[in-house]
């Protein structure tokens, strides 16, 4: 069985980020990590591999040079293969274009199961997974908090988190499932795994040049949200007087409550 995991490399949460002076882009410190929910997807794929025989787990990533970092992590965790769809570094890429390129690559591989994180932690678009399913014409299920394969029937059961409700879904393979927190706790790579990741020479695939979906949006620029005024520390003799003062300020100054 072929399982593909779509992985994205994102800036580490602690990475320094600056707005370019003219607002045309962001400058990011070179500190990367595998996106949080994608790591869960990799873990889920590895658990299936460990439970069943004849499973191969491939990690696939679209992105510029730094996409290698997320692939390294996937291999360090135990993925068998890593494929890099090399893209140029842009300040803004439409999820639809990314999904289209990923779908083109996946068509050549024909996996039975595709996993991805429910969203990337940098842009939180939550579009690429369902769009890849849409391009391939296969069912999309998620965000999954539980997944079970019925190998004999060639089907799959998933418990999806709808935010306030859950549903248990079933479909036939091939299918694409997005991973929500709670699906599987990502393992810490072994030393051997880390070494393997460091030596990784991913298979490279170029991007197709024709029939790319038309762009729907033009980048106008980047900015910062309105900043917060410096914190006002509330003084008082005891907890009760601080609580009173806080409520007074929330009412009179912040016009709340």
Partner 1 sequence: MGAEDQEDRIDQSVDLGGIMEKGGIWVWVEHWEGMERAVAHELLGKARELADRMGRQVVALVSGAKAGQAAERVQGHPDLILVLEAPGCPKPEAWEYIQALENLCRDGSPFMLMAPSSLRSMEWMPRLAVRLGRSMVSEVTGLDLGEGQTLLVRRPLHGGRFLVELESCGLPPYLVGVRPRAFARKEGSRMAQLERIPVEAGPGAVEVLEWFQDLGLGPELTEASVVVAGGRGMGGPESFQMLEELAGLLGGAVGASRSVVDSGWRPASQQVGKSGKTVSPDLYMAMGISGAIHHIMGMDSSRVVVAVNRDPNALIFNHADYGVVEDLKDFLPALIQELKAKG
Radius of gyration of the chain (CA): 22
Other C-beta atoms closer than 10 Å to the C-beta of 7 total 28
Per CB under 8 A, 174 contacts partner 1: yes
Binding to partner 1 in span 46-75, by CB under 8 A: none
Binding to partner 1 in span 200-239, by CB under 8 A: 213-225, 228-229, 231-234, 238-239
Q: Which of 37, 38, 57, 68 binds partner 1 (CB under 8 A)?
A: 37
Residue 256 main-chain phi, psi, to 5 deg: -120, 175
Binding to partner 1 in span 81-100, by CB under 8 A: 92, 94-97, 99
* C-beta separation of 207 from 171 below 8 A: no
- Smallest distance, Å, CB 173 to partner 1? 9
- Smallest distance, Å, CB 53 to partner 1? 25
- Comparing C-alpha atoms, which of 171, 179, 186 is closest to residue 143? 179
Rounded Cα–Cα distance for residues 38 and 220 (Å): 29
- Smallest distance, Å, CB 217 to partner 1? 4
Q: Which is nearer to partner 1, 143 or 189 (CB)?
A: 143
Binding to partner 1 in span 176-205, by CB under 8 A: 181-182
Q: Which region, judged by CB under 8 A, interacts with partner 1, from 7-15, 43-51, 52-60, 75-83? A: 7-15
- Smallest distance, Å, CB 229 to partner 1? 7
Q: Which is nearer to partner 1, 82 or 158 (CB)?
A: 158
H or E, element range at 159: strand 155-161
Rounded Cα–Cα distance for residues 106 and 104 (Å): 6
- Smallest distance, Å, CB 237 to partner 1? 11
Where does residue 35 rank: exposed (0-12), middle (13-18), buried (19+ CB within 10 A)? buried
Q: Which of 31, 212, 244, 252 binds partner 1 (CB under 8 A)?
A: 244
Tell me, residue by residue from 122 to 161, as one string, x for binding to partner 1 by CB under 8 A and - for no binding: xxxxxxxxxx-xxxxxxxxxxx-------------x--xx
- Smallest distance, Å, CB 110 to partner 1? 8
Q: Which is nearer to partner 1, 145 or 196 (CB)?
A: 145
Residues 6+ apart with CB under 8 A from 110: 2, 174
Residue 161 DSSP class: E
Distance (Å) of CA 206 to CA 64, 72, 106: 11, 19, 13
- Smallest distance, Å, CB 159 to partner 1? 8
Q: Which of 1, 146, 169, 205 binds partner 1 (CB under 8 A)?
A: 169
> Per the structure block, which two tokens stand in for 15?
């990475």
């Amino acid at each position: 069985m072929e399982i593909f995991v779509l992985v994205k490399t994102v800036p580490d949460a602690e990475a320094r980020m600056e707005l370019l002076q003219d607002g045309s882009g962001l400058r990011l410190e070179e500190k990367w990590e595998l996106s949080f929910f994608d790591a869960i997807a990799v873990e889920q794929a590895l658990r299936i591999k460990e439970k069943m025989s004849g499973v191969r787990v491939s990690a696939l990533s679209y992105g510029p040079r730094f996409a290698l970092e997320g692939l390294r992590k996937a291999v360090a965790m135990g993925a068998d293969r890593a494929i890099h769809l090399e893209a140029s570094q842009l300040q803004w890429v439409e999820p639809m274009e990314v999904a289209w390129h990923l779908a083109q690559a996946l068509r050549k591989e024909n996996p039975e199961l595709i996993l991805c994180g429910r969203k990337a932690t940098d842009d939180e678009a939550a579009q690429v997974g369902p769009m890849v399913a849409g391009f391939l014409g296969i069912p999309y299920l998620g965000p999954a908090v539980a997944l079970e394969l019925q190998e004999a029937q060639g089907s799959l059961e998933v418990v999806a988190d709808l935010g306030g409700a859950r549903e248990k879904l079933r479909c036939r393979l091939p299918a694409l499932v997005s991973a929500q927190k709670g699906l599987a706790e990502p393992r810490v790579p072994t030393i051997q795994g880390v070494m393997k990741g460091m030596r990784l020479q991913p298979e490279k695939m170029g991007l197709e040049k024709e029939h790319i979906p038309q762009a729907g949006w033009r980048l106008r620029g980047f900015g910062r949200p309105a900043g917060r005024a410096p914190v006002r520390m509330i003084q008082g003799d005891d907890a009760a007087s601080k609580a009173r003062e806080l409520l007074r300020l929330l009412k009179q100054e912040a016009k709340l409550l």
